[in-house]
C-alpha cells in the first residue's frame, strides 16, 4: 500500500468518525455523478466536467453562516481564485420548497449578483436528491473533486465555527488548502473536516 492510499483510507475513516455515520460519498473514492438544471434552465451533469477540478458548495442565502462568508467577500474571493485556475465551482441549494432561503431561479440569480458570487453555476435541488446523495448536512458544506472525478475533500470551508467575520483571517481555509494541494500534485493535507452552519431543511 503506497502513502497516497494510506492517506485516502485514513480520510475515509476520519470522515465517518466526524459525521458519526458512514459518509456518502467517501473521500478517496469516485464522486457520485448527478444531473441538475441550473437557474438558467440548462441541464448539467457532474460527469461533463471530468478533466477539471470541481467544488460543490451547498448554500442557503438566508443562513447567517453563509452570509458571513459572502458579506465578507471570503467565499466570492475563493471562487474567483479557484475559477481563475480552471476549477469548476457549483453552488447548490437543496432546501425544500417553502423553507427559509429556498429561492426560485430569479431570486437565486439576484442573490448571486447582490453578494458578488463568482460560482461557475448555481443549481436548485428542491427534492434534496443530490444533497442526500452527497450527505450534505449544513450550509455551507463543501466537497472538492479532483480532475479524475475522485472526492478529495469533504467538510466545512474553514476551521472556525462561527458567524463572526472577524474570525475569518484566523481560520485555516480547508478548501483553499485542498485546491492548492491538487494544483501542486500532492495529497490533500486535510481530506475531511466537520462541516458547520445551518442544517439543510430537506423536503422529507
DSSP 8-state code for residue 168:
G
Q: Is residue 195 part of a domain?
A: yes
Assign residue 79 a region: left if phi > 0, alpha if psi is -120 to 50, beta otherwise? alpha
| pLDDT of res. 15 | 41
204 in a domain, yes or no? no
Which residues is 155 bridged to in the sheet? 142
Are the beta carbons of 91 and 121 closer than 8 angstroms? Answer: yes
* pLDDT value at residue 25: 84
What total of structural domains would you count in the chain? 1
Strands 138-139 and 141-145: unpaired
Dist. CA 46–CA 55, nearest whole Å: 10
pLDDT band at 11 (very low <50, low <70, confident <90, very high): very low
Residue-wise pLDDT for 19-33, tens only, equals 334 446 899 999 999
CATH number at residue 67: 3.40.30.10
CA-based end-to-end distance of the chain: 41
Q: Is residue 58 part of a domain?
A: yes
Q: What residue numbers bound the domain in which 195 lies?
A: 3-199
Amino acid at each position: 500500500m503506497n502513502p497516497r492510499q494510506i492517506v485516502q483510507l485514513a480520510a475515509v475513516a476520519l470522515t465517518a468518525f466526524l459525521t458519526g455515520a458512514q459518509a456518502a460519498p467517501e473521500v478517496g473514492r469516485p464522486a457520485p455523478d448527478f444531473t441538475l438544471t441550473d437557474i438558467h434552465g440548462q441541464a448539467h451533469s457532474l460527469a461533463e466536467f471530468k478533466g477539471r477540478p470541481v467544488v460543490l458548495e451547498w448554500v442557503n442565502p438566508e443562513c447567517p453562516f453563509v452570509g458571513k462568508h459572502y458579506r465578507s467577500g471570503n467565499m466570492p474571493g475563493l471562487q474567483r481564485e479557484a475559477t481563475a485556475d480552471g476549477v469548476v465551482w457549483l453552488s447548490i441549494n437543496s432546501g425544500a420548497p417553502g423553507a427559509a432561503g429556498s429561492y426560485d431561479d430569479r431570486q437565486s440569480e439576484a442573490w448571486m449578483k447582490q453578494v458578488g458570487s463568482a460560482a461557475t453555476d448555481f443549481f436548485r435541488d428542491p427534492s434534496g436528491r443530490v444533497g442526500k446523495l452527497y450527505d450534505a448536512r449544513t450550509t455551507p458544506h463543501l466537497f472538492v473533486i479532483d480532475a479524475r472525478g475522485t472526492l478529495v475533500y469533504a467538510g466545512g470551508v474553514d476551521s472556525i465555527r462561527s458567524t463572526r467575520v472577524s474570525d475569518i483571517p484566523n481560520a485555516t481555509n480547508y478548501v483553499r488548502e485542498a485546491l492548492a494541494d491538487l494544483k501542486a500534485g500532492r495529497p490533500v493535507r486535510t481530506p475531511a473536516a466537520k462541516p458547520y452552519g445551518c442544517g439543510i431543511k430537506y423536503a422529507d
